[in-house]
Amino acid sequence: MTPSVPPFDADSLSRIMLDLRQMKTFVTDPLVIARADGVWYEDVGGKRYLDGISGIFVVTVGHNNRRVIEAMRAQLDQVAFTPPLHATNLPAIQLAEKLGEITPGDLDTVKLMSSGSEATEAAMKMARQYHRQSGHPQKYKVISRYWGYHGATFGALSATGTVRRKFMFEPAMQGFVHVWPPTCYRCPFGLSYPGCGIRCATIVEETIELEGPETVAALILEPIGNTGGVVTPPPEYLPILRDVCDRHEVLLIFDEVITGFGRTGQMFAAQTFETLPDILCMGKGISSGYAPLAAIACRDHVAAAFWGEEEDHVEFADGHTYGGNPVSCAAGLASIAEIQERQLPERARALGSQLLHRLEAVQELGVVGEIRGRGLLIGVEFVKDPATKEQFPADNKLGARIGRRAMEKGLIVRFDPDWIAFAPPLVMTDGEMDLMMDIFTECAREVLVEG
Ligand SMILES: Cc1ncc(COP(=O)(O)O)c(C=O)c1O
């Protein structure tokens, strides 16, 4: 029997502020979720929604996963909180060990926290402190990319390259430099892959040289960028950046808050693109959303700079009250066990192929400019004319109209005016994938017919 949901007061809804949402609009047609199972949400009115975006790139092992829930319950019976200032706990130790095992190379030293913003923020702080303690105290600048999103806190926002997320808070922090991401479909340099010499990567070296290599601490990027429409690099891009960073003693930070934990068809995009960062940021899928959890893993040469005598004061000067929370760590361990045992990265590849195949029918509608992504992180950019790449007028917002129609029909996808993204839980069945694409194709067709 499903438990009854207590009614909510309509007035109290206007007292909540959701993320980046105009609440005056939201309260006219609110989505209030009561329960979830597998790839399905159910709202308080009993309407079901197929979750085509894993909450928000989070619920990798699906909703209502009993193994994760039981692991958290069992941990609650042991200890629910330990103070990260002067103690740790067994799930935290096991999780750090597990993360060291599943991340590539020697990314074996782990700091646990609660949100993706904390992770990216900590990674950039770690880069600055690392250089201060390794003979390069003037290295402080962080290079990141336009369109990138690294979180809502001030450092993360300063690295973020999406103007609409930050202009109202500017000026941002000093020491942040932005470069163009690999938007090959519309190359900012007017070049075409593969004859372009991967200009978007080689220009990073020139940027470092112009800024002064002795001032540059780190390059942070999402291996596949969500904002901007699932910006996916050519295979050479990240290896070139690795080489550039090595030559200029710049730490390479991967923000894998979205791409981690099987999403791109390997446990991490670092493996998908065969490039080892110096620091890897994790969030979202690390606990599949069952509890707030995030982490950074750093390589041995980075960790070594923080290991010393008490009086040297070289310990990492970063901390959060909920870092390494035992219940969150228990959720993370159980979620990772599910990902490994059910071979979900492989499943992401298979489901991704199925999704790409089903997008062929959408391509026939004549408005698909490019399909991008890896594994089960796929974006579709819409254009007025695929032959010329001519964009729709700004007020057309085809992607948003299709996304809203999908919502009405019980399918949740990530949408923007010009693109749509799919990233369902990796436990989706073939039948659910077919259903998702049936609904989506129908919505795209309907919206186009309406004009
Ligand atoms: C790539 C990336 N990094 C960092 C963050 C920030 O994570 P959080 O919202 O958990 O602070 C996000 C959030 O969407 C993200 O997509």
Quickly list DSSP for 367-379: -EEEEEEETTEEE
Distance of CA 88 to the CA centre of its chain: 27
Place of tokens 């949100």: 115
Q: What percent of the chain has a predicted confidence (pLDDT) above 70? A: 98
Within a 10 A sphere around the Cβ of 254, how many other Cβ atoms?
A: 29
Could you tell me the sign of the dihedral formed by the alpha carbons of 81, 87, 89, 93, in that order? positive
- Of ligand 1's listed atoms, the one at least distance from the Cα of 259 is 1
Q: What percent of the chain has a predicted confidence (pLDDT) above 90? A: 95
Q: Is the CB of 151 under 6 A from ligand 1?
A: yes
Position 23, amino acid = M
User: CA nearest 131: which of 140, 123, 118?
Assistant: 140
Q: Is the CB of 226 under 6 A from ligand 1?
A: yes
> Measured between alpha carbons, how far is 57 from 139 in angstroms, rounded to an integer?
33
- Residue 1: pLDDT band with limits 50, 70, 90: very low
- DSSP secondary structure of 43-111: ETTS-EEEETTHHHHT-TT-BT-HHHHHHHHHHHHH-S---TTT---HHHHHHHHHHHHHSSTTEEEEE
Residue identifier of the C-alpha nearest atom 4 of ligand 1: 150
Residue 317 and residue 323 in contact, taking contact as beta carbons nearer than 8 Å = no
> Measured between alpha carbons, how far is 156 from 191 in angstroms, rounded to an integer?
31
**What local confidence, expressed as pLDDT, does residue 74 receive?**
98
User: What 3-state DSSP class applies to 16?
Assistant: coil
Position 210, amino acid = L
Q: How far is the CA of 365 from the centre of ligand 1 (A)?
A: 33
Q: Is the CB of 258 under 6 A from ligand 1?
A: yes
Task: Give Dmax (Cα) for the chain.
Answer: 71
**What local confidence, expressed as pLDDT, does residue 4 receive?**
53
Residue 208 and residue 250 in contact, taking contact as beta carbons nearer than 8 Å = yes
Q: How far is the CA of 368 from the centre of ligand 1 (A)?
A: 27
Place of tokens 């390589």: 299
Residue 184 and residue 225 in contact, taking contact as beta carbons nearer than 8 Å = no
Residue identifier of the C-alpha nearest atom 13 of ligand 1: 151
Q: How far is the CA of 283 from the centre of ligand 1 (A)?
A: 7
Q: Is the CB of 117 under 6 A from ligand 1?
A: yes
Instruction: For a ligand 1 pocket test, name from 20, 118, 150, 414 the mutation site with the most ligand atoms within 8 angstroms of its C-beta.
Output: 150
Q: Is the CB of 149 under 6 A from ligand 1?
A: yes
Residue identifier of the C-alpha nearest atom 14 of ligand 1: 151
Residue 73 and residue 443 in contact, taking contact as beta carbons nearer than 8 Å = no
| Segment 28-55, tens digit of pLDDT | 999 999 999 999 999 999 999 999 999 9
Q: Is the CB of 116 under 6 A from ligand 1?
A: yes
| Segment 75-125, tens digit of pLDDT | 999 999 999 999 999 999 999 999 999 999 999 999 999 999 999 999 999
Is residue 321 over pLDDT 50?
yes
Q: How far is the CA of 204 from the centre of ligand 1 (A)?
A: 23
> Measured between alpha carbons, how far is 56 from 23 in angstroms, rounded to an integer?
19
